[in-house]
Structure 1
Amino acid sequence: MITKFYTSKVLEQIKDNYIVGVLASKSDYLPKLGDDDEPVTYSESMNDVVFYVKALSQEPKEILEVERNKPMSKMYIGFANRSLSNLPIELKYSNDVNKIISFIRESLEGKLLLFKPVLTQQEKNERFYKNIDNVIVEEEDWKEGTTYYAIPRVNLTPEEFERKLLAEETFHLDQYNHAMPAPFYLLCGNYIYGNIKENQWRIDPTSSNTRVLTSPTTIKRVEITEDERIKFTGPERDLLVFIDEEYVNSTIADRLDNSGISLGDIQVNKISLTIEQDNNQTSSLRDIELHLEETNSKPLSEIAFIRDLESKTKENNLVYSREDLINFHTSIKSSALTILSGQSGIGKTRLATIYGEALGLSQDNKRMLIMPISPSYTEPGDILGYLNPSTGLYMPAESGLVEFLLNAQENDTQVHMLIMDEMNLSQIEHYFAPFISLLELEEKERILHLYSKDSVCHNSQKYKHSIHLKNNLVIVGTMNTDETTKDLSDRLLDRSNIVVLEKKSFLDIKKELSNVVKNNNSNSSGVEDAYGEVYMSWRSKNENWNAFDDFELEFFDKIDNEISKVDPLKGFSIRNIIRMGAYLNNLPAKSDEGFYIERDNAIDLFIKQRVLTKIRGPIELYDNLIGTIDLENGVPKGHLYELFDDNAAKKISDFSKTKKELARKARELSVNGYAT
């Protein structure tokens, strides 16, 4: 028997994947590592509590190869101090082994577990072990006998994906790399693609997760409904979904055979449609768009929504630049929290409300909540409520927030919008603290706890101990900057897009509004109420880091280094880069009507509203970074301005808004000795 050992690169590749499992039972064949034959036990040789997990989904090829050639347990071995991120700190350093065993058993038993596999090899004694990097405990219980099929989700729209497939171009499976067996199914949008054979796959050797599918016209797709998703989907990551294996191999496989649409047919239909359009000169552009939308099951146009939003603002006697509206829309799509700022009376709250109304949301249908913030709010209970220990009843706050969040949780296919009016009248970091932390997590982990699950709550049927904050929740805040308000902390600024609305001249406003009266709102599509149903499909699934070229990241590193010399906590954070990638990926597509922002302008906008907002302080600290200003020519003498004005910057953007904002801050330093 030949023993094969793997390189560190291969071992890291194995570890980059996910497996679904369940805590083993006594009836399973368990490794002989512990002091007894229990699935959770103490191992004196390891000086740790060990537990065993049984895989319920595909495993990496190398691990299966080792199992075929070497005696190795089929169970994955976890260690209390290395494999459990949720082990309480008091247990991590506890000598009470029984207490640790009880905690692990109670936490894991009967639950679906998501973990990263580790292949440990010991060349000295030629042994291999299947270990666990980190366990994520899912909310749902494991149904006895259920196994799962891991299906990669492609980070493209169905149209883009099908074009790549038909052109035999490479695409990324970012959470299902080359260490895993070739998948027979793929997810993209609402479709499952199947009828894929193993020999159709070609791996790109230069990348750990890039593949090509050959002979693509034989591939078929079927639509998966929301009810099916809820019923048959298990754990999932952003780009990987675990679906009931029996459902996939029976229902989906049969549906693909009997009613699946092949990519070959889709290609023929598109060619036929093009010929039809060329021969039929009487077809209007809108007829063609509708035909294409029907053919490709394409959702309602995002451009049409922005056009309707612009019309609605003017109907309400509000005039904003188109760039401000698109920036606001893109910020909401790409950020958990968007804050509208600007001169008092410019219509910040009304714009947020109109945006919701344009999506078909209202307080009547419980999909929009306008929550005025009181200066008296000091803790989360002021907006959420509390569990009364005397009566055993949960008492929701008068804000209506808990009921709104419960409705959003139960109707997760529909977007829900929370508007916090004048949110900085009180200290946001106090009353909004749980949300600030949770909204940065992945959707699966965003659990808002109202009270301890061990507490006695007589109305827990209505008010459960926790609420799942899903991706359908949109949060918009409005803020003023005067003596009655609180400043935003760096922590909050680092987690939100601050959109400052530009005030247009009175004459421009009059002209714009007179045109609206004359045109009688002829630009409205008349389908506003339907936008909220498809809003989430407009969000990009593209990898945020792929939004940048290498030279752009090098430039942003320079900016970060320059700021960090003054204050490392105010630099261009990794969070900012990721959010900028999301912002760029979510920009509306270019249209002939001009409802888009050029990419270079978008980068300029993002840095102004996300990076420069944190740079504030006294002249003693920021003299060199921001610089003071020559009041005659208006050019700041600061290191940041020089960086945004050099040749490397000009390859990315002219940074006109960023430089204008730096000039404003430099002027404040010159006059007041403090920049805001």
Structure 2
Amino acid sequence: MLLDKEIGVYIAGILYPDVDLQAIQISNFGDILFKVKPISWVPKSIKDCASMHNLKIVFSGYAKNIAGWKEEVYYPEKERIEKFREFIENKIIIFKPFIERRGEKYYFNLSKETTPVLVDKPKGGGYSYIPIPILDEFSSIEFEKRLLNNQAISLKNVIDLEEVEDIFNVLYNNGYLYGEFQENDKKISSCIFKCSGDIKKIILSKVEDINNYSIVIGKRLIFIEESFLDNAIIDKLLGNGLSLINATSMEKANGAKEEHSATNSYTRVIVNNTLNIEYSDNNVIDELQFIEWFKYVSEKERMLYDLKTLINFHVSVKTGSLVILNGISGTGKSRLVNIYKSALGIDEDKQFKIVSVKPNWNDDSDIIGFLDIANNIYRPSETGIVDLLKDAQKNPNKIYIICFDEMNLARVEYYFSQFLSRLEMSGAERSIILYNEEKEKTLYNRSDYPPRIDIGKNVFFIGTINIDETTQSFSDKVLDRANLINTGVLSFKDWKHNFSNEKMPDRPINKEITMDTFESWVNSDNRPILSDRELDFFDKLNYLLDKNINKCIGYRVITQIDKYIKNIPIFPNDEKFKSIGFNRSYAFDLQIVQRVLPKIRGPLEELKDIIGHSKENGELFKLLNEFEDLSGFELTRKILHNKAKELDIHGYTS
């Protein structure tokens, strides 16, 4: 049984209708406390606890934790209760629960880790809703391949299957409902779902009255009223749905068949009993289309960037780690971030923030704010970061970018410390602490500034740096968590001629890129993609680093390199993209430059063996030669030559 820990299942609920239960009251601390009746599946651990201790399943929560509620603590208690009743009475509350134990008693509460939200009750009514997982992290191709080939489907980002007693009747993917799944379609772990048998699909938007009987929760779940699901959706699915198995059987006989839908068009081809799908999407923005648009926007802004630099920057952002742009002043580092923002089509005022770093910053209060104990108020920093994070939390399908300009004017490890440790985490752990929770009940603006704020996956952090006498160097703690991209200057003649060559792409983008679209470009498979040969390279590299400078590459860095490699865009049918050479060997070389070489710095005495002199006689050069089947390492060799030259001239390299 999970105690004092959030349970990974969303529940839909309503304000408890029993007046004798005092559904809304004022707590001993002066906060509004309310009771919730569940109207969807209840997690197994909640049911077990209620049965074991003879408890009624009623959930308690505080109004101050509800998104959108602003508390007026100075109003009379009766008025406060009535105002909150008006606010919540015709709404459905979506929340994650947790079980709290106080002594020998157990209580069912709304979790504070995931902010409860209110949604309007569907017009069709109903008091029993079934959750349907949204699995858009899989492309339509991959999802149908998994269904047809009886492969496992992970629900770990959606729901904890250990807490679900019943099997899901249907699943949602990219505009379609798939089902009906049967009892033999089983859970094979806490987060893996596997199915077999004949699966059909229908277009959800074409189900009559669907909007009157459903609630969409971000990109995780759709709650559908139970009787409507049984009588309208599943009947339609079984009667008129397109059978994946029958479609595939026809294709085996006919060779190939083209099938069109409201959202996608694709051709299925069976070759040697293997399903292959040639896919084209006329409505969804694909990654190649975005990269071409990104290049066009940069040219339109009268900036010239190598296409490889633009792709490298985009892939680095996709990995979710901190991205740092390094280069001499005036090479367009900040402009590149602005151009990326413009290519994404995000709102410059609400979803984009450039923060000018000040040299006197020395802790995180300089960027997020502080608790004013004397006046019982939280004072957010003038950077506006906290308000942007709050907005991002409310809009998970929008992309947000925070750029720290001249990031190393102050010590990043000091003012950015919380973010450094939290960005690589997931779920409730990916959050920052504004102040001690024990102080929350004393603050006048606690409803606006809770003690903890989540950092959504839809928030990306980018920094720009200059290396000169006014800046601070980075510690390994920062370098281990960042892709350090070196920007340069291309030919000025090319820059001039580029003005006359500006050409609108064949597929322009005239709308905002949503987080759903962005995540469709991300390979989130956790299984390592690095080959044994590539890992042998890193093992030997680690040996040299440890022997010479007492450093090494940890699992964090290897994981991030692996994530970068698996997120390289691959467009096998695009000759222009293939010709630029942004392939695996080039990306492997890039990651050595961006992830490993910045850590190799120090005096000649320490580095003379590992780097050597400019004649490529150092141990690292020999290692590159040994593994030249992986890459030519042109970029790595160039950086090592520069470091060897610095050692020869100055006796030190940074």
Per the TM superposition, whether the score is higher than 0.5 is yes
- Alignment match of 1:419 (pick from 403, 418, 439): 403
Distance 2:485 2:101 in 1: 46
Higher mean C-alpha displacement, 432-441 vs 524-533: 524-533
In structure 1, the partner of 2:147 is 165
Matched AA of 2:438: D
CA contact under 8 A between 2:434 and 2:452: conserved in structure 1?
yes
Match status 1:638 vs 2:638: no
CA contact under 8 A between 1:428 and 1:488: conserved in structure 2?
yes
Distance 2:538 2:360 in 1: 40
In structure 2, the partner of 1:230 is 217
Distance 1:187 1:348 in 2: 41
Measured against aligned partners, the alpha-carbon deviations of 1:514-565 in whole angstroms (never above 9, x if no partner) come to 312xxxx422744343224654333424324332233322332222233223
- Alignment match of 1:603 (pick from 588, 592, 603): 588
Match status 1:577 vs 2:558: yes
Match status 1:667 vs 2:645: yes
- Alignment match of 2:634 (pick from 656, 662, 675): 656
Task: Compute the displacement of 1:651 (Å).
Answer: 3.3
Match status 1:443 vs 2:427: yes
Matched AA of 1:509: W
Task: Compute the displacement of 1:429 (Å).
Answer: 1.1
Task: Compute the displacement of 1:487 (Å).
Answer: 0.7
CA contact under 8 A between 2:184 and 2:195: conserved in structure 1?
no
- Distance change (3 Å), C-alpha of 1:502 and 1:405: same
Higher mean C-alpha displacement, 420-429 vs 253-262: 253-262
Q: Could you say what secondary structure the match of 2:258 adopts?
A: helix
- Distance change (3 Å), C-alpha of 1:208 and 1:231: closer
What pairs with 1:80-479 in structure 2 (closer than 5 Å)? 109-111=107-109, 138-139=113-114, 156-166=138-148, 168=149, 170-171=151-152, 173=154, 184=168, 193-199=178-184, 213-218=195-200, 222=204, 228-230=215-217, 256-260=233-237, 261-264=241-244, 271-273=257-259, 292-293=280-281, 299-364=284-349, 366-455=350-439, 456-479=442-465
Task: Compute the displacement of 1:177 (Å).
Answer: 10
Q: Could you say what secondary structure the match of 1:601 adopts?
A: helix
Task: Compute the displacement of 1:399 (Å).
Answer: 1.5
Distance 1:473 1:540 in 2: 15
Match status 1:560 vs 2:542: yes
- Distance change (3 Å), C-alpha of 1:562 and 1:150: farther
Higher mean C-alpha displacement, 306-315 vs 507-516: 507-516
| Gap runs ≥5 in structure 2 | 1-5, 11-40, 54-98, 119-126, 267-277
- Distance change (3 Å), C-alpha of 1:311 and 1:325: same
In structure 1, the partner of 2:569 is 588
Q: Could you say what secondary structure the match of 2:462 adopts?
A: strand
In structure 2, the partner of 1:513 is 499
Q: Could you say what secondary structure the match of 1:110 adopts?
A: strand
- Distance change (3 Å), C-alpha of 1:312 and 1:155: closer
Match status 1:501 vs 2:487: yes
Distance 2:173 2:553 in 1: 33
Q: Could you say what secondary structure the match of 2:370 adopts?
A: strand
Matched AA of 2:605: E
- Distance change (3 Å), C-alpha of 1:218 and 1:658: same
Distance 1:555 1:363 in 2: 43
Distance 2:391 2:430 in 1: 16
Task: Compute the displacement of 1:383 (Å).
Answer: 1.6
**Count of aligned pairs:** 525
- Distance change (3 Å), C-alpha of 1:379 and 1:232: closer
| Gap runs ≥5 in structure 1 | 1-17, 23-54, 60-66, 68-72, 77-100, 114-136, 234-240, 279-289
Measured against aligned partners, the alpha-carbon deviations of 1:82-122 in whole angstroms (never above 9, x if no partner) come to xxxxxxxxxxxxxxxxxxx9987699843479xxxxxxxxx
Matched AA of 1:599: R
Distance 2:495 2:165 in 1: 61
Distance 2:644 2:130 in 1: 59
Distance 2:363 2:376 in 1: 21
Task: Compute the displacement of 1:437 (Å).
Answer: 1.0
Q: Could you say what secondary structure the match of 1:271 adopts?
A: strand
What pairs with 1:521-560 in structure 2 (closer than 5 Å)? 521-523=503-505, 525-532=507-514, 534-560=516-542
| % identity of equivalent residues | 30
Task: Compute the displacement of 1:309 (Å).
Answer: 1.2
Task: Compute the displacement of 1:347 (Å).
Answer: 0.5
Matched AA of 2:553: F
Q: Could you say what secondary structure the match of 1:554 adopts?
A: helix
Distance 2:562 2:395 in 1: 28
Matched AA of 2:281: E
Task: Compute the displacement of 1:198 (Å).
Answer: 4.2
Q: Could you say what secondary structure the match of 1:613 adopts?
A: helix
Matched AA of 1:428: V
CA contact under 8 A between 1:220 and 1:263: conserved in structure 2?
no
Measured against aligned partners, the alpha-carbon deviations of 1:448-480 in whole angstroms (never above 9, x if no partner) come to 121222222112222222211111101111111
Q: Could you say what secondary structure the match of 2:353 adopts?
A: strand
Matched AA of 1:374: K
Distance 1:487 1:107 in 2: 54
Task: Compute the displacement of 1:447 (Å).
Answer: 1.9
Task: Compute the displacement of 1:352 (Å).
Answer: 0.3
Q: Could you say what secondary structure the match of 1:358 adopts?
A: helix
Measured against aligned partners, the alpha-carbon deviations of 1:191-245 in whole angstroms (never above 9, x if no partner) come to 6643123446799xxx9999875445446685899x8453896xxxxxxx8x98x
- Distance change (3 Å), C-alpha of 1:273 and 1:464: same
- Distance change (3 Å), C-alpha of 1:623 and 1:419: same
In structure 1, the partner of 2:466 is 480
CA contact under 8 A between 1:417 and 1:475: conserved in structure 2?
yes
Matched AA of 2:384: G
Distance 1:146 1:112 in 2: 19
Distance 1:423 1:398 in 2: 17
Matched AA of 2:618: G
Distance 1:351 1:216 in 2: 49
Distance 1:550 1:105 in 2: 53
CA contact under 8 A between 2:155 and 2:193: conserved in structure 1?
no
CA contact under 8 A between 2:152 and 2:195: conserved in structure 1?
no
Distance 1:345 1:106 in 2: 66
CA contact under 8 A between 1:202 and 1:214: conserved in structure 2?
no
Distance 1:216 1:550 in 2: 39
Q: CA RMSD in A?
A: 4.4
Matched AA of 1:392: N
Structure 2 length-normalised TM: 0.69
- Distance change (3 Å), C-alpha of 1:215 and 1:638: same
Q: Could you say what secondary structure the match of 2:371 adopts?
A: strand
CA contact under 8 A between 2:171 and 2:178: conserved in structure 1?
yes
Matched AA of 1:582: K
- Alignment match of 2:612 (pick from 627, 630, 644): 627
Q: Could you say what secondary structure the match of 1:371 adopts?
A: strand
What pairs with 1:48-59 in structure 2 (closer than 5 Å)? 57=43
